[in-house]
């Protein structure tokens, strides 16, 4: 089976590697986003997918806008691929492109469709506190993740998993599921299932304001926001920006899910007060500050001060000489 692979970030790498290793599959070319300037030196850096492709001497095409690029469209036609595979490519394919390969275009999507269609399914899944997610392979159409579904695979979400943890797990699951999908699809062993649009939910691009922590929200909502939008959530501490990277929502509803934090139960109960949201009510030795929220208490497990490296909540409390009664404020971006 001759494949053209469309993908860009780390999430797509396990899938490309599995395709390259499979004896029944030939990767004819890779389409990825143009190199981007990053870092202090403003150097051009290739995408993770381009790096892998070059290591295996696979032709790489990097159009700015694939559906408008005459040369790219010609290359895609001339590839005579049986199928196009798309994993987190970052551009929408036109109907012209979707119609090129004889077996169609298959997408590997990081959610259980029709839930969380869109650009950031893993992040919004965690934000909403889902206990399970997975991968769906689907036939692509002109809509945003609206095509008929082929196969699904599921994985549970731990209360302390963040978006990076879940993405790494789903990337491996997606790689295996795609291989199974391609082989069964070629043998006509899969019956596509249309999505129920009435059950659809959406996972749009994350905006800067989505990172702002509002301490009047319940502790569990803040925890889900921190792990969903890892590692970019922010608050204000002593009028400076402070990234909150890892948290633990404390309380009776969570002790059974957090056995390693059970020792904090008595500690947090004794910390209950008439504190206002954002106020530090206690500092757990070896752990970090415990903050009052709109509902419940939140342990700040890891933070990053502006211009500094990430540090544990305990090191932050010690280094800043944090005192009970100080407040974290909702910041403005």
Residue with more model confidence, 284 or 257: 284
- What are the tens digits of pLDDT across the range 228-247? 999 999 999 999 999 999 99
Exposed (0-12), middle (13-18) or buried (19+): which is 324, by Cβ within 10 Å? middle
CA distance 244 to 226: 7
Question: Which two three-digit tokens encode residue 187?
Answer: 């043998």
- Name which of 184, 165, 157, 139 is nearest 24 in CA terms: 184
pLDDT per position as a tens digit, 216-228: 999 999 999 999 9
Number of Cβ within a 10 Å radius of residue 193: 14
Structural domains of the chain, with CATH: 2-199 (3.40.50.170), 208-329 (3.10.25.10)
Question: pLDDT digits over 114-145, tens only?
Answer: 999 999 999 999 999 999 999 999 999 988 99
pLDDT in tens, 6-22: 999 999 999 999 999 99
Give the model's pLDDT for residue 134: 98
pLDDT of 38 higher than 90:
no
Q: Is 262 helix (H, G, I), strand (E, B) or coil?
A: helix
* Mean pLDDT of the 269-290 span: 84
Contact 85, 172 (CB under 8 A): no
Q: Residue 256 in contact with residue 266, Cβ under 8 Å? A: no
Q: Is the pLDDT of residue 268 over 90?
A: no
Report the range of poorest mean pLDDT among 36-50, 84-98, 228-242. 36-50
DSSP 109-164: ESSSTTTTBSS-HHHHHHHTT-SEEEEEEEE--SSSS-SPEEEEEEEE--TT--HH
- What's the gap between Cα 185 and its chain centre? 27
Grade residue 37 by pLDDT with cuts at 50, 70 and 90: confident
Where does the pLDDT of residue 179 fall: very low under 50, low under 70, confident under 90, or very high at 90 and above? Answer: very high
Evaluate whether 227 touches 304 at the Cβ level (below 8 Å): no
Q: What is the pLDDT of residue 259?
A: 73
Residue 247 pairs in a beta bridge with: 300
The residue count for the chain: 333
First to last CA, the chain: 49
Q: What is the pLDDT of residue 260?
A: 76
Residues 70-82: tens digit of each pLDDT: 999 999 999 999 9
Q: Treating both helix axes as pointing N-terminal to C-terminal, what angle do 163-186 and 13-21 enclose, rounded to 10 degrees?
A: 30
Averaged pLDDT of the chain: 94
Query: Which range (139-153, 259-273, 286-300) has the least confidence?
Result: 259-273
Query: Could you give the C-alpha distances from 220 to 48, 185, 224, in angstroms and in order?
Result: 34, 42, 6
* Mean pLDDT, range 46-60, rounded to an integer: 97
Q: Of residues 330 and 244, which shows the higher confidence score?
A: 244
- Left if phi > 0, otherwise alpha if psi is -120 to 50, otherwise beta: which for 102? alpha
Residue 333 has pLDDT above 80, yes or no: no
Q: How many contiguous H segments (helices) and E segments (strands) does the chain have?
A: 9, 16
pLDDT bucket at 270, cuts 50 / 70 / 90: low
Residue numbers belonging to the annotated binding site for (6S)-5,6,7,8-tetrahydrofolate: 111-114
The pLDDT of residue 67 is above 90: yes
| pLDDT per residue as tens digits for the range 281-321 | 999 989 999 999 999 999 999 999 988 999 999 999 999 99
Per the annotation, binding residues are 111-114
Structure tokens at 25: 């599959």
Q: What are the structure tokens assigned to 130, written together? A: 């889902």
Please, what's the b/e burial string for 270-307 (b: 16 or more CB within 10 A of its CB; e: otherwise)? ebeeebebbbbbbbbeebbbbbbbeebbbbbbbbbbee
Phi-psi region of 257 (alpha: psi -120 to 50; beta: other; left: phi over 0): alpha
Residue with tokens 């959406």: 202
């Amino acid at each position: 089976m001759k494949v053209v692979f469309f993908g860009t970030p780390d999430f797509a790498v396990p899938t490309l590697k599995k395709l390259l290793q499979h004896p029944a599959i030939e990767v004819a070319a890779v389409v990825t986003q143009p190199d981007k300037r990053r870092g202090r030196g403003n150097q051009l850096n290739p995408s993770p997918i381009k790096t892998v492709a070059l290591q295996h001497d696979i032709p790489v095409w990097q159009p700015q806008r694939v559906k408008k690029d005459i040369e790219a469209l010609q290359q895609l036609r001339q590839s005579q691929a049986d199928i196009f595979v798309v994993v987190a490519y970052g551009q929408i394919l036109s109907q012209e492109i979707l119609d090129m390969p004889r077996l169609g275009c298959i997408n590997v999507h990081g959610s259980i469709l029709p839930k969380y269609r869109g650009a950031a399914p893993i992040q919004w899944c965690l934000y909403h506190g889902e206990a399970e997610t997975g991968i769906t392979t689907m036939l692509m159409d002109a809509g945003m993740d609206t095509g008929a579904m082929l196969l699904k695979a599921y994985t549970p979400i731990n209360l302390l998993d963040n978006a990076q943890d879940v993405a790494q797990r789903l990337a491996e699951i997606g790689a295996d599921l795609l291989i199974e999908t391609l082989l069964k699809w070629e043998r006509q062993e899969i019956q596509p299932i249309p999505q129920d649009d009435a059950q659809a939910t959406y996972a749009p691009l994350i905006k800067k304001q989505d990172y702002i922590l509002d301490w009047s929200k319940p502790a569990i909502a803040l925890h889900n926001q921190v792990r969903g939008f890892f590692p970019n959530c922010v608050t204000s501490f002593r009028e400076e920006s402070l990234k909150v990277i890892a948290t633990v929502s404390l309380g009776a509803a969570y002790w059974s899910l957090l056995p390693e934090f059970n020792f904090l139960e008595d500690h947090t109960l004794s910390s209950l007060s008439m504190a206002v949201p954002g106020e530090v009510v206690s500092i757990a030795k070896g752990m970090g500050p415990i903050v009052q929220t709109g509902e419940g208490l939140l342990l700040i497990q890891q933070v990053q001060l502006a211009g500094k490296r990430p540090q544990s909540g305990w090191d932050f409390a010690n280094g800043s000489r944090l005192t009970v009664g100080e407040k974290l404020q909702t910041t403005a971006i």
